[in-house]
Amino acid sequence: MEESPLSRAPSRGGVNFLNVARTYIPNTKVECHYTLPPGTMPSASDWIGIFKVEAACVRDYHTFVWSSVPESTTDGSPIHTSVQFQASYLPKPGAQLYQFRYVNRQGQVCGQSPP
C-alpha cells in the first residue's frame, strides 16, 4: 500500500459496488458485493476497505479485507463476487459517513461505493 494521496481510477469501467445500504444493523457482519469490469485480472493482493468518505489516502482505511479471487474467470465478462466484514471490525454507529473502496495491488482505488 502506498502512502501517497489517494489516486482514483476513473469511475467509468471501474469496480462497481452493488446493493449498498444507507445504513447497516449494528453488531452484525456486513457482506459487500461488487463487480469487476471485463478484462480485470483480480489479485490476492487487492483489497476492499471501509473508509471515511473524506479519507484522502489509501492508508486512511478503518478496516479492510482481502478481495476474493474467483477460481476461474471467463475472459470478456464481468466478475461478480463478494467479501464479508466481521461485526467486531466495523465502525461504531454514528453520524460519520463511510464507503467501500476497492484498492488494487498497486495501491490505486479502482472503485468506490456511494456513502
Cβ count within 10 A of residue 112: 22
* Residue at 10 is within a domain: no
CATH code of the domain in which 72 resides: 2.60.40.2840
* Residue at 5 is within a domain: no
Type of residue found at 56? A
Please write the tens of the pLDDT for every residue from 2-51. Answer: 333 444 443 445 999 999 998 899 899 999 999 999 888 889 999 999 99
| pTM of the full structure | 0.85
* Residue at 8 is within a domain: no
* Residue at 4 is within a domain: no
* Total domains present in the chain: 1
* Residue at 88 is within a domain: yes
Cβ count within 10 A of residue 100: 23
* Residue at 1 is within a domain: no
Range of the domain at 66: 16-112
